[in-house]
Amino acid sequence: MRSNRAKLRTVSMAATLPMIAGALALGIPAAHAADNPGRNALAGTKPAWATAKADKGATSNSAQVSARVYFAGKDAAGLAEYAKAVSDPSSASYGKYLSAKKAQARFGATKAQVAAVKSWLRSAGLKVTGVTQHYVSVTGDVAAAEKAFGTSLHNYTKGSKTYRAPAKAASVPDSLKGAVLTVTGLDNAPHKSTHDDQLPQPETVFRNSGPFSSYYGSNTASTLPDAYGSKIPYAIQGYTGKQLRAAYGAGKYTGKGVKVAITDAYASPYIAFDAQTYAGKHRDAKWSTGQLHQVLPKSYTNVKDCKAAGWYGEETLDVEAVHAVAPAADVTYVGAASCLDNDLLDSLSKVVDNHLADIVSNSWGDIEANQTPDLAAAYDQVFQFGAVEGIGFYFSSGDNGDEVANTGTKQVDTPANSAWVTAVGGTSLAVGKSNNYQWETGWGTKKALLSADGKSWTNFPGAFTSGAGGGTSKTVAEPYYQKGIVPDALATANSADGNRVVPDIAAIADPNTGFLVGQTQTLPDGKTQAYDEYRIGGTSLAAPVIAAVQALAQEARGKVIGFANPEIYARYGKGVFHDVTDNPTGSGLAEARVDFVNGYDATGGLATSVRSLGKDSSLSAVKGYDDVTGVGSPANGYVESYKGH
């Protein structure tokens, strides 16, 4: 449920690093800038949109700047190398994770580096407003920022608006000797993330109209027109945990002893009540005392811009989905102060710095075109520290297919494009009467409405509405674990050298075969709040489902899985994944849907439509690895494959 993430999902995280990142790839101060002797440039700090054509002149010296200077640490290249080694089953260091304290001691910034960075910033006239083990935050006017970072700040047009950005890459004095990874905040274009889900995250109650199917095909739309030569079923009312556990081979495992974290922005005030109510209504295991935790900031910011209430449903979906599939797992929700990058980075850092969990589900992000290398470096450093500690991050791949319909440009989403996270794609799922897995297609939907006379579908199959994000990155190098498995045609789509292809793995995402969630919402009178349920989908559903399956696998294994991609790709071709294709029955697939026009009752009328499955923009789910579902979805045997390994 990347909750209308096309609306909220902007984590500008440019994951520009190859799997073993050298100092330059990490954005560490590199060669001396030719026009700035005695200083080292911070690659990627001038955004691509800050062009000469868009330049509107110098920013006023008195304008205010808020920035973060991230530490490179004592051995940035070594951090990336060790993160790879502990995650690679073929490495002698595989599984030799470090505690958070030891990881910081080995790779983090020294006291001397921190002191030197603070002294330099203050000497330029900037005010230090905060210091963590990852960065120094500062404020000051433009003149002081220009002095500190050896660049000029100009105003540039970006779309219909104007933003500030460096006229050339920022730099740091030679004396800092590689202490600085990057600086963020010199450009002030908005970097806010959206959550990816299909169907609104309502402030006012949202409800699905019937008729429904309780399992795939249980209720045929006998009075509606045919599609693909036959009668079609009504959409699922919403799968529950029992059905998803059976479909993805949970077996006897429950996630016992495994800690899962969920990061989103803000926090639902009703989450404990909603989660317990939902579990009781659907015969999931009751939440035990202390099983659900929340780690929240002291205060929230940008509540209006980020549409804070919309994030409540994202948290609700993520928490309920994890518990439905892994009912004994310990769940910690980490809420960011806003949907902005800095706050989301802080939430991820809390997980890593305090090792709050081994598995982290994240259903938010943005398009790759909005990512900037400075933020990419900051995000990837967190993911690398996580890998060193045995923490795996799972990110939803997006809900707009190839993004052409949404942005006009074919591209992937971020942070799912990072080589250091597991990108989770989406499927349409058919579960049978006995909770038996029937088939999956790649999630991609076309919609056509019922004609006025009720005898046909207008312009069948209709227009593309949504689908799992995927494709080839333009900025991230091909990671070693994808080589030999991802087809060359995909890997080299944007560069002969090869790039990262998204996703890695997939699970249920199609809202027409979606998951039922329970959430306290405001009723149509605008005053009353009550618990209600509705069906939802999106890769915001797929991410927590895969995180929960990984919790089952970790329980089976009896030890930490960590950054999972090398293990996932090592299992490719060994019969433990459903090889998902777009047309598994060979005859075309569709469902009928009846919706309330106003979203909650019949007073505004009903809308009847047909939703065709397996039609994801220009992306295709085919035999073998593909850019809709990756290696496929977990099958019977996937969880057990970790036992004893």
Distance of alpha carbon 338 from the chain centroid:
16
Which amino acid, residue 493?
Answer: A
Domain boundaries, the chain: 15-191, 241-642
Check: CB of residue 241 under 8 Å from CB of residue 263: no
Query: For position 69, what pLDDT does the model report?
Result: 97
Which amino acid, residue 339?
Answer: C
d(C-alpha 141, C-alpha 149), whole Å: 12
Reading phi first (left if > 0) and then psi (alpha if -120 to 50, else beta), residue 558 is in: left
In CATH terms, is domain 241-642 a member of 3.40.50.200? yes
**With the C-alpha atoms ordered 259, 260, 265, 269, is the resulting torsion angle positive or negative?**
negative
Check: CB of residue 416 under 8 Å from CB of residue 423: yes
d(C-alpha 398, C-alpha 369), whole Å: 14
How do strand 422-431 and strand 392-396 relate by DSSP bridges?
parallel
566 burial level (CB within 10 Å; 0-12, 13-18, 19+): buried
> 352-401, pLDDT tens digit by residue?
999 999 999 999 999 999 888 999 999 999 999 999 999 999 999 999 99
How do strand 505-508 and strand 422-431 relate by DSSP bridges?
parallel
**Of 238, 261, 253, residue with least CA distance to 319:** 261
Check: CB of residue 21 under 8 Å from CB of residue 44: no
3-state secondary structure 486-532: CCHHHHCCCCCCCEEEECCEEEECCHHHCEEEEEEEECCCCCCEEEE
- Residues lower than pLDDT 50 in the chain: 1-34
d(C-alpha 455, C-alpha 218), whole Å: 23
Distance of alpha carbon 36 from the chain centroid:
38
**Of 284, 370, 379, 274, residue with least CA distance to 328:** 284
d(C-alpha 422, C-alpha 392), whole Å: 8
Query: For position 442, what pLDDT does the model report?
Result: 98
d(C-alpha 343, C-alpha 400), whole Å: 25
Query: For position 15, what pLDDT does the model report?
Result: 32
Check: CB of residue 400 under 8 Å from CB of residue 479: no
- The position carrying tokens 């790649």 is 442
The residues, any chain, with a CB within 8 Å of residue 138's CB and separated by 6 or more, are 66, 67, 68, 69, 121, 126, 127, 128, 129, 148
Check: CB of residue 21 under 8 Å from CB of residue 557: no
Task: Tell me how many helices (H) and strands (E) the chain has.
Answer: 14, 30
Check: CB of residue 188 under 8 Å from CB of residue 340: no
Q: Which residues of 278-299 are buried (b: 16+ CB within 10 A; e: fewer)?
A: bbeebebeebeeebbebbebee
Q: Cβ of 488: how many Cβ atoms within 10 Å?
A: 12
Is pTM beyond 0.75 here?
yes
Which amino acid, residue 305?
Answer: D
d(C-alpha 171, C-alpha 150), whole Å: 6
